Amino acid sequence: MSYNLNNQAGRAQSSSWGDVESLKSALSSCLMKVFLRMFTALVVTAITAFAVVSSDSLQSFVYANIFVFYGLLIGELVLVFVLSARINKMSVTAANALFFLYAILNGLTMSCIFFVYNLGTIYTAFGVSAVMFAIMAGFGALTRRDLSSVGSICFMGLIGIILASLINFFLRSAMMDYIICYAGVLIFIGLTAYDTQRIKKMLAEAGGASQEEAIQRISVIGALSLYLDFINMFLMILRIMGRRR
């Protein structure tokens, strides 16, 4: 099945865009905001992680008490749920604040990778992830093929690797861990393309809000989706490449 922006003309007429040219302009603006917001969140996460590594007091705060560390992880899950479920009911300012709060919390917990992996491995994994992400995001933005089926398959695969990870927590099989990581990379590659295209569809179907408000809201949830795709792809590649200290 092909996905063509021009096929959204009818929806554009019935939503707040008025015509296809206005929709195309809004899509360009929205995607720019998505990638800028996502990049900024990655920078915030990196700065936070480096701050933890450089500060004994922050290390003590994050790692001295296991309840604090797992509390941070639970906080991250809650923020993702709240943003995903209530993005249309909160102000853009509040949505942005929660998104960057999530980026900070993620930086606190992800700082542990600096105690496990060599810096060279981390930088290489990040570079490989960035190249793969850019290619697939570009594909998702430009392709005319409908990637809905890809998204469904990747979502089912994601559930599968979560369950496999839980099982392997007890089995501690190195082979299964490698299989999970390679499968995870493929899944998040697919999700990157799918989520990028989904941003276009969400904007085409937006209604009941001003153009700028719709762009801002969708850019927040779109940035969150792609941020999660990138972070998880990076962690999977890091586990594959990782040379433990």
pLDDT given for residue 12 in this prediction: 47
pLDDT given for residue 133 in this prediction: 98
pLDDT given for residue 205 in this prediction: 81
With 80 as the cut, is the pLDDT of residue 140 above it? Answer: yes
> Running DSSP on this structure, what letter comes out for residue 38?
H
With 90 as the cut, is the pLDDT of residue 142 above it? Answer: yes
Q: What span, in angstroms and rounded, lies between the C-alpha atoms of 48 and 50?
A: 5
Structure tokens at 208: 């009941």
pLDDT given for residue 13 in this prediction: 47
How confident is the model over 54-78, as a mean pLDDT?
A: 95
pLDDT given for residue 14 in this prediction: 46
With 60 as the cut, is the pLDDT of residue 243 above it? Answer: no
Q: Treating both helix axes as pointing N-terminal to C-terminal, what angle do 20-54 and 211-241 enclose, rounded to 10 degrees?
A: 50
Q: Give the 3-state DSSP-derived string for 188-208, with helices as H, strands as E and coil as C.
A: HHHHHHHHHHHHHHHHHCCCC
**pLDDT tens digits along 85-125:** 888 889 989 999 999 999 999 999 999 999 999 999 999 99
- The pLDDT > 70 percentage for the chain reads 89
**pLDDT tens digits along 153-165:** 999 999 999 999 9
Choose between 172 and 231: higher pLDDT.
Answer: 231
User: Cβ of 172: how many Cβ atoms within 10 Å?
Assistant: 8
- The pLDDT > 90 percentage for the chain reads 76
With 70 as the cut, is the pLDDT of residue 7 above it? Answer: no
Residue with tokens 């989706």: 225
Structure tokens at 114: 């600096």
**pLDDT tens digits along 22-48:** 778 888 889 999 999 999 999 999 999
Choose between 205 and 184: higher pLDDT.
Answer: 184
Cα–Cα distances (Å) from 208 to 17, 93, 138, 160, 213, in that order, read 11, 19, 29, 37, 10
Choose between 212 and 58: higher pLDDT.
Answer: 58
How confident is the model over 48-67, as a mean pLDDT?
A: 95
Q: What span, in angstroms and rounded, lies between the C-alpha atoms of 219 and 92?
A: 10
Q: For the chain, give the mean pLDDT.
A: 90
